[in-house]
Structure formats: C-alpha cells, structure tokens
C-alpha cells in the first residue's frame, strides 16, 4: 500500500521509515523513535457540536410549555444517531492517529547531516504518513475553544512552507496543554539559536486601550450580526420572531412616536449595545495578550480569554508588517498591526492569526511594528515623505463618488418623490448636498493617503480611506509583479501595480501609479523580475527603459 507524502518532504526509499534520512551503514544501529498518541479526551471534544441542537430542543420545550411535537422527537432521534456515528468516528480517529519527532541516529551522533522530521500517521483502511522536515515548519498555533479549555486540552497546528492553502498544515486534536507546549518547544528547538535581546517582550495588554474598542466595525455591524444570528436560531426551532408579542408592541410604539425622536433614540441604543459588545469582544480576543521574541528567530503572540490562541511565527517567514488604520480608529488616534508572514493558512486563518496588536494608540502601533521587524517601521513616515501620486488620481476618486454614491440615491429619491409625495423631493436635494460634500471629502482623504516608496530593504505602500493601510514589505520577498489597467485608467495614464508575495494576502496593491513610472519603480524595488520584458533603447532614444 502506498503512503501519501507531504509535499516538499524528502523521498522515502523502500524499506526506510519516514524521516530516517539517508540509509545508515549496516554497522550503525538506528533507534526507533516511539509513536505518541492523542489524549483520550479527544472523544469528548468531538461531541461538543451537539450543544447547539440539544439547546434548540430545550428552547422548543420551554417555548411550548413542555409539549414536544413529533417533528422534535424525530430531530432528537436523528441527533442520537448522529451522536453514535460521530462518537464511533472519533474513536477510530483517536485510535488510528499518532505522531512522533524522528531524529536520525548515526555513528557520528544525532543529526549526522540528516534532517529531523515531524511524522503524523492517520487513517483506518488507508494509512497516511505525513513526514515533514522540522526546518520547513514555520508557525505553531495552539488554539483552545471553551470546550477544549473545560477538558484541559488544546489543538496544535503546525504551518509549513507553502501551507498558505491549508493543505500541508499538520493538525493534532487534541493534546493536553503541557504536552502541546512540550511538542511546540520540540518543533521549534531546531531553529538556529542566536542571542536574545535584553527585553524579548515587544508588547503586553494595556486595558486603557479599551477606549479604542468602540472605534471599530463591531460597534454597529456587530449588533446586526447578533440580531441576524438570533433570528436564524429562532427560525430554526420554528419560532417566528416577528409574531412575538413584545416585538409587535415595540414596532407599534416605535411607529406611534415622533420619528425625529424615536429614530435618534434607536440609533443611540444600537450604538450603546454595539459599544458594549465591542468591548466584550475586545476583552475575549485580547485577554492576557503578549507579543514576544521567544528567541532571536521566533516571534510569538499569546492572547484569548475563552478561546486561547498562541501563534508562533518564524522570523525567516516574516515578510513584512501592515499598519491598519480604519476611519473611526484613525480619527481617535489609534491603529492596529498585522504580520505579513507565510505559513499562516488560508485567507480566513491568516486573518485570525496575523494580528500582532489590537486597536491601540498609533504610537504604540508604530513601536510594535518596529519591534516585529527588529528595526524602525519604515511606514512611520508622513504621507508627504512618500512619493505622491498624480492629481488625476484625485479626479478619479471624485468622479467615482459622484457616480456611484450621489447620483443613484438622488435619482431614486427624486423619482419616488415625483411619483408619490413632494417630501421625497426635498429628501433628494438634501441627500445630494450631504453626500456630495462627504464624497468630495473622502476622495480628498483617499488621495492624500496615496503614497509609495523604497526604504532600505523595504517597499512601503499606503492607500485607503475607510481603512488606511500602510504595508512594509521585504523587497527580496516579492515574487512577481502585476500591472492592472482599465479603459478609464489607460485614458488617465495610470496603472495599478500589485506585488505578489508568498505570504499574508498574497498580493499588495499600489493603485494609480503613473504608467510611465511603474516599470522603473518595479525594476528598482525588485530587480530581475521584469528584465525579460524590458527593452533597453538604443542611442537614438532618450535614456530610460520601457516595456515591450
């Protein structure tokens, strides 16, 4: 039976175990590394999914006064059958999953030129052995949900080079917390040791930062997300939220009152609930937060109250840092920091794991970004210190705001006003005046935020208004360039330049560059990539380069 092999892992010759390295001489005995097992509490973790259906059944019983319908009993029977199936599958998975770290033994001592490997063996009918050299492991993530924490276990995920899609990620569920910590230390113990700085801690949680929690999307969006989730949960157990008595009374009283009072009051209630929810979410996500260098090559982030998370990033895979300043947070003088690193999983997992700093004062964010890079953050330069973009970029943003925000809303209100009531005609011109002013202001802000430049080994790019993002990328990490245009940008003489990086979001845009300057900038930032596409003009041409 053939054994699937982890991409990039060394070839395993017939008759040799995974990770055994080159065949040892006959007179050199090789010690077999024992396999280790998952914790038996893995079985209980697999049953955690039943909390939602059993909770829905209990709510149904409460809502109906203890009268459970035939459909509910059928649901209970289906849950019981699913429980039996899931438990059986979990038992098989636990019994047939084991792991080990293999360190080859040769006559000249451990290692002997062979690479230690992390081996994970799974499968019932088809056994699968995944063997990865330890030098390819870039990140180690320990995640514990509330169910895991109650049971005293955690999930270990080891990200490897090229695990951006999650297919080559090694995952063990579940291990005891001490065992997971020991295994993480073993996986990262083979990195080259260097002297650790006098203070390896880059940042710790400061609860005065809580004032920045309401300056995020969740202050409003979170309320609607929770309301939508509650509606779906009630609808799933057969309760129509709109027919509940207190809901109907609330809408009746809302419509009976003066709208100029009830609408602002409703907005204040939403803002209050959103602010409380944002603070609670901030505490849950960033409780016990600590960003530190565990050694000269390993950056670790620990955080979480109910769901704890400890993400380890190898310095060799840290390709840069992003300073993110959403509009409200920027108005309050705050910012947050994300890592641009490989091996953090797909886009969703990267979003969860890449956070280096919660919303905090901008000065603290700049310090953390510099601490992560082990050098001053080049994106701390003022916008005026970066290369500005042409004025036509400002015109494009003004036109887009007028065409896609002002014109459609004004036309709809004017049409409804002409058809039904003149009140909407007044709403139309008020909307046009307000949104025109806002669009022009946002366009001006977006244009002022545009900038790019080269600072030593880093490419710096800044853009955005609703979220002003400043990214500092290692120039030698850029793998490719993409030049994007549209009929409108070609007419304006602009191009969007995207740097492809095997880390983070895979590509980082520099919008609205002058088309004539973009090739030269890309060539200077990352030499060698565009050489085959460039034509060096002869003596009869002006000095410079142009694209074929």
Say if residue 384 is in the same domain as residue 405: no
Say if residue 330 is in the same domain as residue 363: yes
Domain end, chosen from 268, 286, 304, is at: 286
pLDDT of residue 397: 95
pLDDT grade, residue 106 (50/70/90)? low
In 191-333, the DSSP E strands lie at 201-204, 290-295, 298-303, 308-314, 318-326
Higher pLDDT among residues 380 and 310, named by residue? 310
pLDDT grade, residue 108 (50/70/90)? very low
Does position 452 have pLDDT exceeding 80, yes or no? yes
Residues 133 and 127: their CA atoms lie apart, in Å, by: 20
Give how far the C-alpha of residue 532 lies from the chain's centroid of Cα atoms, to the nearest Å.
35
pLDDT grade, residue 350 (50/70/90)? confident
Domain end, chosen from 286, 310, 328, is at: 286
DSSP string across 38-72:
--TTHHHHHTGGGHHHHHHHHHHHHHTTT---HHH
Asked if the structure places residue 368 within a domain, the reply is yes
Asked if the structure places residue 114 within a domain, the reply is no
Least confident of 158-167, 262-271, 389-398, 431-440: 158-167
Pairing label, strands 105-106, 109-110: antiparallel
pTM here is: 0.73
Which pLDDT tens digit goes with each residue over 13-35?
433 434 334 444 444 444 578 89
Note whether 381 and 369 are within 8 A (CB). Answer: no
Range of the domain at 422: 392-447
Q: Is 374 left (phi over 0), alpha (psi -120 to 50) or beta?
A: left
pLDDT of residue 95: 84
Say if residue 309 is in the same domain as residue 413: no
Asked if the structure places residue 44 within a domain, the reply is no
Asked if the structure places residue 26 within a domain, the reply is no
pLDDT of residue 212: 93
| Number of structural domains found in the chain | 3
Q: Which residue has the tokens 């400043």?
A: 470
pLDDT grade, residue 381 (50/70/90)? low
Mean pLDDT of 383-409: 90
- CB neighbours of residue 68 within 10 Å: 13
Residue 350 corresponds to which tokens in the numbers above? 């990267």
The alpha helices in 345-406, defined as continuous H runs, are 347-353, 362-373, 392-401
In the chain, the percentage of residues whose pLDDT exceeds 70 is 77
Say if residue 308 is in the same domain as residue 268: no
Give the relative orientation of helices 221-236 and 259-286 as an angle to the nearest 10 degrees: 90
The mean pLDDT value of the chain amounts to 80
pLDDT of residue 74: 75
Note whether 20 and 104 are within 8 A (CB). Answer: yes
Does position 192 have pLDDT exceeding 50, yes or no? no
Does position 218 have pLDDT exceeding 60, yes or no? yes
pLDDT of residue 14: 37
Say if residue 321 is in the same domain as residue 279: no
Which pLDDT tens digit goes with each residue over 236-279?
666 777 777 767 777 776 666 666 677 777 788 888 888 888 99
Phi, psi of 235 (to 5 degrees): -65, -35
Residues 337 and 270: their CA atoms lie apart, in Å, by: 28
Does position 505 have pLDDT exceeding 90, yes or no? no
In the chain, the percentage of residues whose pLDDT exceeds 90 is 37
pLDDT of residue 490: 92
Inter-CA distances, 59 with 62, 104, 227, 234, 469, Å: 5, 57, 17, 9, 45
Note whether 241 and 234 are within 8 A (CB). Answer: yes
Domain end, chosen from 421, 447, 473, is at: 447
Say if residue 253 is in the same domain as residue 374: no
pLDDT of residue 527: 92
Note whether 110 and 30 are within 8 A (CB). Answer: no
Mean pLDDT of 467-477: 94
Which pLDDT tens digit goes with each residue over 404-413?
999 999 999 9
Least confident of 16-30, 178-192, 242-256, 466-480: 16-30
Say if residue 216 is in the same domain as residue 349: no
Which pLDDT tens digit goes with each residue over 41-53?
877 776 666 666 6
Asked if the structure places residue 485 within a domain, the reply is yes
Say if residue 367 is in the same domain as residue 485: yes
Phi, psi of 299 (to 5 degrees): -105, 130
Say if residue 237 is in the same domain as residue 358: no
Say if residue 235 is in the same domain as residue 354: no
Note whether 195 and 296 are within 8 A (CB). Answer: yes
Which pLDDT tens digit goes with each residue over 292-328?
998 878 899 999 998 889 999 988 889 999 999 999 9
Asked if the structure places residue 70 within a domain, the reply is no
Say if residue 252 is in the same domain as residue 376: no
Asked if the structure places residue 311 within a domain, the reply is yes
Asked if the structure places residue 363 within a domain, the reply is yes
Say if residue 277 is in the same domain as residue 309: no
510 forms beta bridges with: 497
């Amino acid at each position: 039976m053939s054994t699937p092999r982890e991409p990039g892992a060394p070839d395993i010759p017939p008759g040799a175990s995974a990770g055994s390295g080159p065949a040892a001489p006959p007179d050199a005995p090789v010690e077999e590394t024992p396999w280790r097992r998952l914790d038996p509490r893995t079985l209980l973790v697999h049953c955690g999914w039943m909390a939602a259906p059993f909770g829905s059944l209990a709510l149904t019983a409460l809502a109906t006064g203890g009268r459970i319908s035939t459909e509910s009993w059928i649901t209970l029977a289906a849950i019981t059958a699913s429980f039996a199936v899931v438990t059986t599958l979990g038992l098989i998975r636990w019994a047939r999953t084991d792991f080990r770290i293999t360190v080859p033994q040769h006559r000249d001592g451990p290692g002997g030129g062979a690479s230690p490997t992390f081996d994970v063996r799974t499968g019932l009918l088809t056994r699968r052995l995944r063997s990865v050299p330890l030098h390819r492991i870039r990140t180690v993530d320990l995640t514990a949900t509330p169910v895991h924490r109650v049971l005293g276990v955690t999930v270990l995920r080891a990200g490897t080079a090229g695990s951006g899609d999650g297919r080559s990620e090694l995952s063990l569920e579940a291990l005891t917390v001490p065992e997971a910590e020991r295994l993480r230390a073993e996986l990262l113990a083979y990195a080259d040791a260097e002297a650790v700085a006098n203070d390896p801690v880059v940042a710790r949680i400061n609860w005065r930062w809580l004032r920045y929690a309401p300056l995020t999307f969740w202050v409003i969006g979170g309320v609607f997300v929770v309301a939508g989730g509650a509606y779906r949960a009630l609808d799933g157990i057969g309760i129509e939220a709109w027919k509940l008595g207190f809901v109907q009374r609330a809408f009746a009283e809302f419509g009976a009152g003066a709208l100029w009072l009830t609408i602002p009051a409703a907005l204040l209630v939403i803002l209050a609930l959103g602010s409380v929810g944002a603070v609670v979410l901030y505490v849950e996500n960033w409780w016990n937060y600590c960003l530190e260098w565990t050694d000269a090559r390993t950056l670790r982030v620990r955080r979480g109250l109910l769901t704890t998370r400890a993400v380890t990033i190898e310095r060799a895979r840290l390709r840069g840092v992003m300073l993110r300043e959403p509009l409200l947070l920027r108005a309050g003088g705050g910012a947050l920091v994300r890592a641009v690193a490989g091996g953090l999983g797909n886009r969703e997992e990267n979003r969860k794991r890449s956070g280096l700093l919660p919303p905090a004062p901008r000065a603290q964010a700049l310090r953390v970004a510099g601490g992560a890079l082990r050098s001053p953050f080049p994106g701390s330069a003022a916008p005026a210190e970066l290369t500005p973009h042409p004025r036509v970029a400002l015109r494009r943003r003004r036109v887009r705001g007028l065409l896609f925000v002002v014109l459609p809303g004004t036309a709809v209100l004017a049409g409804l006003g002409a058809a039904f009531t003149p009140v909407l005609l007044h709403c139309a011109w008020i909307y046009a005046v307000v949104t025109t002013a806002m669009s022009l202001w946002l366009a001006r802000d977006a244009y002022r935020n545009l900038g790019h430049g080269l600072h030593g080994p880093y490419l710096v790019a800044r853009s955005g208004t609703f979220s002003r993002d400043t990214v500092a990328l290692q120039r030698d990490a850029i793998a490719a360039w993409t030049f994007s245009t549209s009929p409108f940008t070609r007419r304006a003489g602009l191009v969007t330049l995207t740097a492809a990086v095997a880390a983070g979001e895979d590509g980082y845009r520099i919008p609205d560059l002058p088309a004539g300057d973009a090739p030269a900038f890309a060539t200077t930032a990352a030499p060698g990539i565009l050489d085959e596409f460039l034509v060096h003009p002869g003596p009869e041409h002006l000095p410079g380069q142009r694209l074929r």
